Structure 1
Amino acid sequence: MADFQAVAEAPPPRTFRLAHASRGAAIDSARLPLPCAVTREWAWGSATGSGVRVCLIDSGVDAGHSTFTRSVTTLTMAGDDLTVIPDEIGDQAGHGTACAGVIRAMAPDCELTSVRVLGSGLQGRGEVLLAALEWAIEHRFPLINLSLSTRRAEHKEALHDLVDRAYFAGVTIVASAHNRPVRSYPWHFPSVISVGSHTMALAEHIECNPAPPAEFFARGIGVEVPLPGGGTSRQSGNSFATPHITGLCARVLQRHPGFATGQLKHVLSAIANNRT
């Protein structure tokens, strides 16, 4: 039985309601003391994510889509021992291809690796997610995008241990907040960068949340994304806000190699559009 799934797409805009979404609140700059001025020019300037390795754990990627002018490494978990092998099936759901498209739109020159853990119904087994996450941490990807979560309490402790391991290993996990007002993981854990949505159309508009648990908001409404097999569509949900932040972090890491999760959070907070 499936026991985790991607953050579900939201209903049509006419009735659109997302939990953990921006309410337009400003954050007092006095809450974010800085040793020096941090600007977007300093944070990433003209960086495109070149040389930064990003792991997308999701439903796979249609690497042949015209959106991906740079190659995407596509892998999956197989066998009883959950070995990482090349993915011969590809994205049967579209979710991973969409998230990959956003990452590449934000950081076109990043080195993107997809690990497929979700099937056509956007569901998967908890042990597969844990194995994929452990593999990505062991291979020291500087950034891991998780536009998915689980509500299963039996996975909470193992996930907590893994994301803490990532934090101390210098691996930053960017995780989607749930679209509904429920408690799920790992986005609730402070050792990840957690992301909800705002309604602004600007891809680089980000907000720092003065009332977490979701720490940042990025564009998540009506995002144009690639579809497996060709073409594009517009999708809404925190799943698609998250890769905006992942892409921006890739650009920061090109300019400032070695920045860890805490430093990336500080930079994102410093350049947030809702600072007063």
Structure 2
Amino acid sequence: MNVLPAWSAAFHGGQLATVLSLPLPDVRDWAFAGSTGAGVKVAVVDSGVDGGHARVGGISGGVALEVDTSAPGGFRVVPGPHEDLVGHGTACAAIIRSLAPEAEIYSVRVLGANLKGHGALLHAGIAWAVDQGMSVVNLSLSSKSEKLFAPLHEVADEAYFGGTLLVSAANNQPGPTYPSQYSSVVSVAARRGSGPMSLAYNPRPPVEFGAHGIDVDVAWSGGGSIVATGNSFAAPHVTGMAALVLGKHPTLTPFQLKSVLQAVSDNADPSPT
């Protein structure tokens, strides 16, 4: 893979500086050891999730948000089972499941068969996840619309102060996208890590974290799999790690979780210079 997704360059070519982190002894053991993600509710806001896929192993519930110009807000909420219209959401859910096998995964479908969606659906999908008390929300999608800057910022702040961590992939194309640009979210780009739990922190955001997202073997529609590259597939690796941390330390706030993720990054150093 020669062409990297946008925002990935900061995590390649030996450019990444060492960053000072929390002075936690044996930080990865403290954060992850023994955790399966049990008790952690994770929403995948995407194209839907095929709970029957072997790599997903079932989901705990979900909702589909569909355009309906006759309904309030221009959309309707359809609770219950629904299909993955593409495979993208299934890929993300399977990555999360591979890291946090006992997390409760919920599918929030906001994208159509062309992987496109209306901004109102993205906003409503995040709001639904916050209202349902999700611990972590995986957003392997974003919007370039300036009109959505304020509404998405508002719901991202509601999540942050309400105890829901938003993990957002940066767009694969250059330019600002939302909600990945907000400081209240965990923003993620792809890197060629040493494994699925490999993480790097960028001291020069807006994209703060780099995770495994290049040439990734991912689940896809029809029970199959593909090899794919993208920031979309880096984000659920971070979501899975966050679910593991919360499985051990369920009272951590989004602010604290982000600090722990920085501390477990490959380029973190707890020793002051």
Question: What TM-score do the two structures reach when normalised by structure 1?
Answer: 0.89
CA contact (8 A) 1:70 1:109 kept: no
Following superposition, the deviation at residue 89 of structure 1 comes to 4.4
Q: Determine the C-alpha separation between the residues in 1 that align with 2:234 and 2:218.
A: 12
Q: Determine the C-alpha separation between the residues in 1 that align with 2:58 and 2:208.
A: 31
Following superposition, the deviation at residue 261 of structure 1 comes to 1.3
Deviations 1:152-206 (A, max 9, x none): 1111100001101111111110000111221111000000000011112400110
Counterpart position of 1:162: 155
1:173 and 2:166 equivalent? yes
Following superposition, the deviation at residue 140 of structure 1 comes to 1.6
Counterpart position of 1:261: 254
Following superposition, the deviation at residue 86 of structure 1 comes to 3.2
Deviations 1:107-155 (A, max 9, x none): 1110000010001100011111111111111112110110100001111
1:25 and 2:18 equivalent? no
Would the alpha carbon gap of residues 87 and 255 (structure 1) be closer, same or farther in structure 2, given more than 3 Å must change? same
Q: Determine the C-alpha separation between the residues in 1 that align with 2:101 and 2:15.
A: 31
Percent sequence identity over matched residues?
A: 39
Q: Determine the C-alpha separation between the residues in 1 that align with 2:234 and 2:95.
A: 9
CA contact (8 A) 1:38 1:271 kept: no
Q: Determine the C-alpha separation between the residues in 2 that align with 1:198 and 1:166.
A: 27
**Alignment map for 1:212-251 (pairs within 5 Å):** 212-251=205-244
Would the alpha carbon gap of residues 263 and 108 (structure 1) be closer, same or farther in structure 2, given more than 3 Å must change? same
CA contact (8 A) 2:59 2:106 kept: no
Q: Determine the C-alpha separation between the residues in 2 that align with 1:161 and 1:223.
A: 33
Q: Determine the C-alpha separation between the residues in 2 that align with 1:143 and 1:72.
A: 14
AA paired with 2:21?
A: L
Would the alpha carbon gap of residues 39 and 125 (structure 1) be closer, same or farther in structure 2, given more than 3 Å must change? same
Task: Tell me how large the CA RMSD over aligned residues is.
Answer: 1.6
Following superposition, the deviation at residue 83 of structure 1 comes to 4.5
CA contact (8 A) 1:167 1:191 kept: yes
Q: Determine the C-alpha separation between the residues in 1 that align with 2:40 and 2:244.
A: 8
SS in 1 for 2:211: strand
SS in 1 for 2:222: coil
CA contact (8 A) 1:59 1:92 kept: yes
Partner of residue 179 from structure 2, selected from 177, 182, 186:
186
Partner of residue 53 from structure 1, selected from 37, 41, 45:
41
Q: How many residues align?
A: 261
1:91 and 2:84 equivalent? yes
AA paired with 1:100?
A: A
Q: Determine the C-alpha separation between the residues in 1 that align with 2:224 and 2:18.
A: 42
Would the alpha carbon gap of residues 88 and 109 (structure 1) be closer, same or farther in structure 2, given more than 3 Å must change? closer
CA contact (8 A) 2:63 2:82 kept: no
CA contact (8 A) 2:136 2:164 kept: yes
Would the alpha carbon gap of residues 89 and 42 (structure 1) be closer, same or farther in structure 2, given more than 3 Å must change? closer
Q: Determine the C-alpha separation between the residues in 2 that align with 1:122 and 1:72.
A: 23
Counterpart position of 2:3: 16
Q: Determine the C-alpha separation between the residues in 1 that align with 2:194 and 2:48.
A: 26
AA paired with 2:236?
A: P
Counterpart position of 2:106: 113
Following superposition, the deviation at residue 28 of structure 1 comes to 3.2
Unaligned runs of 5+ in 1: 1-12
